[in-house]
């Protein structure tokens, strides 16, 4: 089928909650994808920070084939499976954490973390969760409530009670809200959908201190910025500040749906049997791919630290070359953005025409989240296309 045929079937049969670009992706190799009409694109979206190993990774292929050959794609959590237990122990070793709960998405990981926070607080008579403006935590009711952006709440009231919003990178605004009723603080160390906004070190240190002084849990949502994307296995490792709970998803399942709630010592043992569950959590196939992703994480992260600095440099060059269209470039590792003075969609469309996939974050930011295997040569190619696209829009 052609792009056009697939798009028209989609438009007829899907709910209209997405504004999708009119192509269908058929295949991929390395960091290049091909659409149904045979056009190739350099992919700096990676399925929104999911496809860390790019396309056609041989180890992913082997792992998935061996699962298929075993005949068992799914076991439920009534029983153990070797892939999920390995993935959990690898995660704990990499993060320095104690316990893992597997689920299927970022929103679901945050739901788990919020339930842990409420359970932790309920024994102490507290329930308030502090989150931040411009944050994004997912679309289920709990996750969307702690998402500090009005546009995601509009039309869906009432939200979850006892959630309050402070200003990101503004400790005084947190202190004004924090008291003995505070059960948890949830924050992205590097805000993604809100516009690629890194936390300041002093801000995260302050949150750690506030959480400690109030016996509240500090939750880091690293669904997007975790798993090597910023040049360390986890973003919190740049800051030297440990959360009590870490949430992960996106890249974890190597392209299959998988999320995780990761507990450090203070949050250990909050859930008892019956408290929380996910039928598909720790699914055999997703977990087998997670094993592959996690086994490569140390070397991938190290490479991203170097290549990410190069991407940052190229984006800075683009900003200084197009001051009438760009405000600034920011971000960490392979999670970066250019703040634009025009709607990102016009730049995205031009880049697509020229064979580059990029996406937006917030209303003004052009986002770059390539597969972690992207090379400096790939970055050069992508930067040249963005440069050309901006020149044509000036």
Binding site for ligand PLP (CB under 6 A): 105-107, 110, 136-138, 188, 192-193, 221, 223-224, 249-250
For ligand PLP, the closer of residues 185 and 326 by Cβ is 185
Smallest gap from residue 83 Cβ to ligand PLP (A): 20
Smallest gap from residue 376 Cβ to ligand PLP (A): 26
- For residue 339, report the phi and psi dihedrals to the nearest 5 degrees: -80, 125
How far apart CA 136 and CA 48 sit, in angstroms, is 14
Q: Of 147, 238, 228, which is closest to residue 186 (Cα–Cα)? A: 147
Contact 258, 92 (CB under 8 A): no
Smallest gap from residue 295 Cβ to ligand PLP (A): 22
For ligand PLP, the closer of residues 20 and 82 by Cβ is 20
Smallest gap from residue 281 Cβ to ligand PLP (A): 13
Smallest gap from residue 259 Cβ to ligand PLP (A): 6
For ligand PLP, the closer of residues 314 and 370 by Cβ is 370
The token duo for 12 is 């007829």
Q: Where do we find the tokens 């009534």?
A: 78
How far apart CA 20 and CA 48 sit, in angstroms, is 13
Contact 282, 108 (CB under 8 A): no
For ligand PLP, the closer of residues 106 and 255 by Cβ is 106
Residue 9 neighbours by CB under 8 Å, 6+ apart: none
How far apart CA 392 and CA 394 sit, in angstroms, is 6
Smallest gap from residue 136 Cβ to ligand PLP (A): 5
User: Burial code of 360-371, b = ≥16 C-beta within 10 A, e = fewer?
Assistant: bbbebbbbbbbb
For ligand PLP, the closer of residues 192 and 198 by Cβ is 192
Q: Where do we find the tokens 């569950």?
A: 277
For ligand PLP, the closer of residues 103 and 318 by Cβ is 103
Burial of 69 (0-12, 13-18, 19+ CB in 10 A): exposed
How far apart CA 308 and CA 305 sit, in angstroms, is 5
For ligand PLP, the closer of residues 35 and 165 by Cβ is 165
Smallest gap from residue 71 Cβ to ligand PLP (A): 28
Q: How many CA atoms lie within 13 A of 331 on its CB side?
A: 36
For ligand PLP, the closer of residues 136 and 165 by Cβ is 136
Question: Taking the CB of residue 34, how many other CB atoms lie within 10 A of it?
Answer: 15
Closest residue to ligand PLP using C-beta atoms:
106
For ligand PLP, the closer of residues 189 and 312 by Cβ is 189
Smallest gap from residue 114 Cβ to ligand PLP (A): 12
SS3 392: helix
Smallest gap from residue 329 Cβ to ligand PLP (A): 19
Residue 111 sits at the vertex; the CA angle it makes with 60 and 133, to the nearest 5 degrees, is: 105
Contact 348, 360 (CB under 8 A): yes
Smallest gap from residue 194 Cβ to ligand PLP (A): 9
Q: Is 100 left (phi over 0), alpha (psi -120 to 50) or beta?
A: beta
For ligand PLP, the closer of residues 104 and 301 by Cβ is 104
């Amino acid at each position: 089928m052609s792009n056009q045929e697939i798009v028209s079937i989609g438009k007829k049969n899907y709910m209209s909650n997405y504004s999708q670009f009119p192509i269908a992706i058929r295949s991929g190799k390395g960091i290049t994808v091909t659409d149904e009409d045979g056009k190739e694109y350099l992919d700096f979206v990676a399925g929104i920070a999911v496809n860390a190993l790019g396309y056609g990774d041989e180890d992913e292929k082997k792992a998935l084939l061996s699962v298929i050959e075993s005949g068992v794609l799914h076991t439920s959590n009534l029983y153990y499976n070797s892939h999920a237990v390995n993935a959990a122990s690898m995660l704990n070793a990499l993060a320095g954490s104690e316990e893992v709960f597997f689920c299927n998405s970022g929103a679901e990981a945050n739901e788990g973390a919020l339930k842990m926070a409420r359970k932790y607080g309920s024994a102490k008579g507290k329930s308030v969760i502090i989150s931040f403006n411009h944050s994004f935590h997912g679309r289920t009711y709990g996750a969307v409530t702690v998402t500090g952006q009005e546009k995601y709440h509009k039309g869906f009231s009432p939200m979850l009670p006892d959630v309050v919003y402070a200003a990101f990178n503004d400790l005084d605004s947190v202190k004004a809200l924090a008291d003995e009723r505070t059960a948890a603080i949830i924050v992205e160390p590097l805000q993604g959908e809100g516009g690629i906004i890194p936390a300041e070190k002093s801000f995260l240190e302050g949150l750690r201190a506030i959480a400690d002084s109030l016996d509240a849990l500090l939750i880091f949502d690293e669904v997007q910025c975790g798993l090597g994307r910023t040049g360390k296995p986890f973003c919190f490792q740049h800051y030297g500040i440990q959360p009590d709970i870490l949430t992960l998803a996106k890249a974890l399942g190597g392209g299959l749906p998988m999320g995780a709630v990761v507990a450090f010592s203070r949050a250990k043992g909050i859930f008892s049997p019956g408290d929380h569950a996910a039928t598909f959590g720790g699914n055999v196939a997703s977990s087998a791919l997670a094993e592959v992703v996690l086994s490569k994480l140390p070397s991938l992260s190290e490479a991203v630290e170097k290549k990410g600095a190069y991407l940052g440099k190229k984006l800075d060059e683009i900003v200084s070359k197009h001051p009438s269209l760009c405000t600034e470039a920011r971000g960490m590792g392979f999670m970066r953005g250019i703040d634009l003075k025009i709607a990102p969609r016009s730049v995205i469309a031009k880049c697509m025409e020229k064979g580059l996939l990029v996406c937006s974050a917030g209303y003004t930011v052009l986002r770059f989240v390539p597969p972690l295997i992207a090379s400096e040569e790939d970055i050069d190619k992508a930067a040249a296309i963005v440069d050309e696209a901006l020149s044509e829009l000036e």
